[in-house]
Chains A and B, each alone.
Chain A
Amino acid sequence: MSGSREDFLVLDDVKTHFDMGRDFFTRKSKGVVKAVDGVSLTIKEGETLGLVGESGCGKSTLSRTIMQLIRPTSGKIWLEGKELSAISDRDIRAVRKNFQMIFQDPYASLNPRMTVMDTLSEAIRTRHPDAKGDDLIKRITELLRKVGLNPAQMKRYPHEFSGGQRQRVAIARALAPEPKLIIADEPVSALDVSIQSQILNLLKRLKSEMGLTMIFISHDLSVVRYIADRIAVMYLGRITELGDAETIVDDPLHIYTKALTSAIPVPDPNAEQSRERVILQGDQPSPIDPPQGCNFWPRSPVEHDEHMKQTVPEFAEVKAGHWVSNCPHCVEAN
């Protein structure tokens, strides 16, 4: 899909490959991990894009590539019309404050020896190097209020907070440098259901109040459906389906998306009894030398012919705003 470069974030055929090097004795190549293998995407300002897929499908590598923590092997990335992939390694640090991440485990992502105040001041100073004194305190207070924490607790250490509160601190830190894009990598997976809903509500509120643009990575489609405007389903380094959050979950086209949605357990015994499952065969293949052609064929319940085992299916807009990797076997199996 060809987005115009004026869009907020544009990815054009981005590939991130990792060379595994050569075997020391035989000098044979150990292969190339094709973690991200040709992803094109546009994200509009203020939009939340849900990124779903099994572990190892390249979700995290893609988000790191967008942040330029890993430079792409090929392809181009534009942020607000500026080509990030062309910026030299020396100048890239200045760009990175535009991106912030929220991680899965707030226990691991906060420094246990820094108070909330220290953590947040450090993050604020990346954007406002001169902030100090009352101005700094005012900014911290405002941030803590925004994420629903009591500003009186700013002198506390992470261990003095509960899991849900700690994730709120992590969110405050992500907001502190006034980023343009937030990448939330499984932000609620480590939390209990009752706390999960608090964090989802908070992210949703921040999104509507501050117009945050967010990439929300998760393996839980029901969570993503709730929070995201659009969903991209990733499989083995490529996007297999992209569209409206509701459409993707309730009316998917690709058989892989169907398998994913049918695998989510629904808290309703009768619905669980009656529903049809698409059970996939085996695990996701290794991204080292992934299958040719429609990369889903080894696991698909529908037999693929030789042609589709060789040719990469076109990523086509089948309905308005609904894109799918248009393999006749995977899509027409409906």
Chain B
Amino acid sequence: MALLEVEDLATHFHTREGVVRAVDGVSFSIDKGETLGIVGESGSGKSVTCYSLMRLIPEPPGRIERGVARFDGQDLLQMGKSDLRHIRGDRISMIFQDPMTSLNPYLRISTQLIEAQQTHRDIDTKSALFKAIEALEEVGIPDAANRVKSYPHEFSGGMRQRVMIAMALINEPDLLIADEPTTALDVTVQAQILDIIKQRQERLGTAVILVTHDLGVVAGNCDKVNVMYAGQIVETGTASQVFYEAKHAYTRSLQKTIPSLQEKGQELYTIPGLPPDLSKPINGCAFHPRCPFPKTGHKGTERPSLKDVGDGHCFADCGFCDSSGSIEDVLAKGDLADTALPGEGAEA
């Protein structure tokens, strides 16, 4: 049985402008020791998915409308507040993008690391401190025995993120949710941090959900990948399926926009237009206004559901566009000019 099974999760925000369907029917599962990457542009619902699992969505305006998130047999979405508190920080923990806002600036690192343990375990302060120092050593903080007494502001950004990882892993959780853990860091430090997460994962058998917008980070660290667009998963599969045999027009367009994959002289592809407004109903495939492939089929009114194309590789096949050809051919015919993007002006 999978460690976490999410079925048809939907989280909507009820704002004055209308109902924003930030996450609208997301299903996936993750096994013990596995790393699942969630990629997508800002506003695609990747963070809201994670926050919903931890029940950190501000209510109101947010509301989890439907869905099941079975974690070890228990539904996280139906659980009472006190049961939830036992799970958060103990069996599921989370790392956020900005470590400065997630550490308490008034408390020493030692106090915060000891509190994290004593909330969930019957452990005396002395051994908790000992474990805290050990945890800091494991994430590569030099002179941990002295540094443990420091305040968060005395650490650099990379060191602070290490402290966050140490804190998140100190109770040896079954699942770690990392929401853009390295976006605010330098590339060299990013490589170190991802390395630490990987090492600890191998030792403890922790499952990791890694949310990022960087396809490179996903390629190097994830076993499975969910590509999200406009609140739904449009493609899912193993890393090599999604990178080498991408089926969905959005995944394939996204890959064409990355500078490191393109020749220097070549103009970068830009996906025309903007993601759809999630407060308005979406008819048919959400990506179709920006899709470069020729439209041959019937648009339909329902958003397409995921279809298995073999070995667990699924994508939302809309049947509207003919995406059988290679994207290079389609783009070569199309106009690559970056000016006068249709839709962009209309939206603003």
Residues of A within 8 A of B (CB): 54-55, 145, 148, 150, 153, 156, 160-162, 164-165, 192-198, 200-202, 204-205, 219-223, 225-227, 245-246, 259-260, 262-272, 277, 279-280, 282-283
Contact = CB atoms under 8 A, between A and B. Distances in A.
Contact of B268 (A55, A162, A201, A245): A201
A150 B159 contact: no
Contact of A162 (B186, B188, B347): B347
B345 A263 contact: no
Contacts of B214: 193, 265
27 contacts: A54-B188, A54-B189, A145-B339, A150-B345, A161-B348, A162-B344, A193-B213, A194-B254, A195-B270, A197-B257, A197-B270, A198-B338, A198-B341, A201-B270, A222-B259, A222-B260, A225-B264, A226-B262, A227-B259, A259-B188, A264-B260, A265-B214, A266-B216, A266-B220, A270-B240, A279-B191, A283-B159
B151 interface: no
Nearest to B39: A193
B243 interface: yes
A193 B188 contact: no
Query: B41, B186, B218, B254: which has the most chain A beta carbons within 10 Å?
Result: B186
B255 interface: yes
Contact of A272 (B158, B219, B254, B259): B219
B332 interface: no
B239 A269 contact: yes
A196 B195 CA distance: 27
Given A198-B341, A222-B260, A264-B260, 9 more contacts: A148-B341, A150-B340, A192-B213, A194-B41, A197-B268, A263-B187, A267-B216, A269-B219, A279-B192
B291 interface: no
Contacts of B145: none
B164 to A, nearest CB: 15
B219 A268 contact: yes
Contacts of B158: 283
Contacts of B271: 194
B239 to A, nearest CB: 4
Nearest to A53: B186
A273 B274 CA distance: 34
Contact of A55 (B41, B186, B240): B186
Given A193-B213, A279-B195, A267 B243 contact: yes
Contacts of A194: 41, 253-254, 257, 270-271
Contact of B240 (A164, A200, A221, A269): A269
B220 A162 contact: no
A304 B32 CA distance: 44
Contacts of B186: 54-55, 219
Nearest to A220: B187
Q: Chain B contact residues (Cβ within 8 angstroms of A): what range? A: 35 or more
A201 B189 CA distance: 29
Interface string B138-152: 001010000000000
Interface in B135-178: 140, 142, 156-159
Nearest to B216: A265
Q: Is the interface of B mostly helix, strand, loop or mixed?
A: helix
B43 to A, nearest CB: 9
A262 B348 CA distance: 40
Q: What 3 A-B pairs have minimum CB-CB distances, sorted nearest first?
A: A265-B216, A222-B260, A272-B220
Nearest to B217: A265
B260 A205 contact: no
Contacts of B142: 282
Contact of A269 (B41, B220, B261): B220
Contact of A280 (B188, B219, B255, B269): B188
A263 B261 contact: no
A220 B188 CA distance: 11
Interface string B254-296: 1101111110100111110010000000000000000000000
B251 to A, nearest CB: 11
Interface in B211-241: 213-220, 239-240
Query: A194, A266, A279: which has the most chain B beta carbons within 10 Å?
Result: A194
A265 B217 CA distance: 5
A187 B348 CA distance: 21
A204 B344 CA distance: 21
B264 A193 contact: no
Interface in B181-225: 186-192, 195, 213-220
B42 interface: yes
Nearest to B274: A162
Contacts of A268: 219, 243, 261
Contacts of A279: 191-192, 195
Nearest to B269: A197
A176 B54 CA distance: 48
A267 B260 contact: yes
Contact of B218 (A156, A164, A196, A267): A267
A156 B348 CA distance: 10
Contacts of B220: 265-266, 269, 272
Contacts of B344: 162, 164-165
A264 B264 contact: no
Given A153-B348, A197-B268, A283-B159, A264 B262 contact: no
Contacts of A272: 216, 219-220
Contacts of B213: 192-193
B208 to A, nearest CB: 16
Contact of B338 (A202, A264, A270, A282): A202
